[in-house]
């Protein structure tokens, strides 16, 4: 294991202690995991897209990019292995986080999430991703409507 991967693993494992604004990073990881885990066939393309998005978000911080990718993979693995999480529970958790932290609504970038469509999945994957995006769009609209009134 290289020094960089060891540091990334360490930062990911102890992200609550060592990663600045770890809740924001974790929220984004959950968003991306919901899109990636919807494709049960192969996630290699999605991880390429994720890395590109992470570099766009955290331009100057390669370790933060790596921690976001690593954290997202953790959530995806929990869902795929049906360990302690499924997509429905993840979406409920995202909803709860948005209620708790109003600023998280602004962290949802629909263009980033739509980027995962580039990874050709089967019809079920595309349908599930579309439903997930519709859920996020609905949440953004309802949360912004509440904050302006």
One-character DSSP codes across 99-147: HH-GGGGGG--HHHHHGGGGS---HHHHHHHHHHHHHHHHHHHHHHHHH
Which contacts qualify for 46-55: CB closer than 8 Å, 24 or more apart? 46/116, 46/119, 47/73, 49/115, 49/116, 49/118, 49/119, 52/115, 53/112, 53/115
Q: What is the pLDDT along the chain (149 residues), one digit of tens a residue?
A: 565 555 555 445 444 544 445 688 889 999 999 999 988 777 789 999 999 999 999 998 888 898 899 899 988 988 888 766 788 999 999 999 999 988 899 989 999 999 999 887 788 889 999 999 999 999 999 877 766 65
Burial class (CB in 10 A: 0-12, 13-18, 19+), 25: buried
Residue at token pair 């990874």: 119
The pLDDT score that the predictor gives to residue 34 is: 94
CB contact set of 141 (below 8 Å; sequence gap of 6+)? none
User: Would you say 95 and 35 are in contact if contact means Cβ atoms under 8 Å apart?
Assistant: no
Cα–Cα dist 78/122, whole Å: 21
Cβ–Cβ under 8 Å, residues 98 and 143:
yes
């Amino acid at each position: 294991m290289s020094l960089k991967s060891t540091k990334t693993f360490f930062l990911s494992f102890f992200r609550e202690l060592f990663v600045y604004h770890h809740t924001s990073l974790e929220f984004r990881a959950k968003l991306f995991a919901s899109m990636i885990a919807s494709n049960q066939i192969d996630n290699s393309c999605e991880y390429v897209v994720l890395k590109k998005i992470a570099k766009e978000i955290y331009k100057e911080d390669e370790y933060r990019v790596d921690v976001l990718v690593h954290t997202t993979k953790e959530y995806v693995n929990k869902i795929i292995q049906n360990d302690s999480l499924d997509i429905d529970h993840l979406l409920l958790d995202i909803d709860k986080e948005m209620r708790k932290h109003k600023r998280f609504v602004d962290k949802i970038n629909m263009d980033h999430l739509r980027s995962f469509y580039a990874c050709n999945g089967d019809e079920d994957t595309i349908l599930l991703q579309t439903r997930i995006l519709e859920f996020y769009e609905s949440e953004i609209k309802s949360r912004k409507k509440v904050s302006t009134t």
